[in-house]
Chain A
């Protein structure tokens, strides 16, 4: 049996502070990044054997 998928812990102390600080202002993805994401999404959607 492989390692079980680890649970996400409740963040406290420094971890919580870092998380809040890192997510206070989110940098928007660039136009190029969004285009890449769209292209990958469409490519995989096209070969999907189930409804997406």
Chain B
């Protein structure tokens, strides 16, 4: 993908956010109304791809964790007891992850592969010379983007948000462990 003349910047309180319209008012609103608050509160870091006069895309990251109940044939009592013991041979029930809180591409640049490039960049960023352990990428995906994430190797995390406006999905970075 050609990024000639594009700049990737990290949003801060001084950033002048250039015009942007991805076609979704909520995602537009997040960039203009909320992204700086998330940054100021140290909740999420937003990155912007921009040209001189407009915003091409934005995305943000925050720390996350995937935890699950122990799985096995043990009865409830044993499950309760085993939760007090160190993890067994089967390993962990909690994994470090990073979340893509929001990712949006301007209508003017849709269908050119920029969204996929951002996902690829994110995958590489968290396996290449990473500073902390990170096993999964999670994403709070808008309904209209579910196919996009499925095509890029993401899976649904839960069936309980089937009817929500957004669904949680995840990507296992273990598939790139020999990256």
Contacts and interface: CB of A to CB of B under 8 A. Distances in A.
A and B bind: yes
Interface of A: 1-3, 5-6, 8-20, 22-23, 26-29, 34, 36-41, 43-50, 52
Contacts of A10: 67-69
State the majority secondary structure of interface residues on B.
mixed
Interface of B: 1, 3, 6-10, 26-27, 29-30, 33-34, 38, 44, 49, 62, 64-69, 71, 97, 99, 101-102, 116-121, 123-125, 128, 138, 140, 153, 155, 157-161, 164-166, 168, 172, 174-179
13 contacts: A2-B34, A3-B166, A11-B158, A16-B71, A22-B155, A28-B175, A29-B176, A41-B121, A43-B117, A44-B3, A44-B118, A47-B3, A47-B49
Contacts of A34: 176, 179
Chain A to chain B: the 9 pairs with minimum beta-carbon distance, closest first: A40-B120, A41-B124, A11-B68, A2-B30, A5-B101, A16-B68, A40-B117, A2-B29, A26-B174
A14 B121 contact: no
B26 A3 contact: yes
Contacts of A15: 68, 157-160
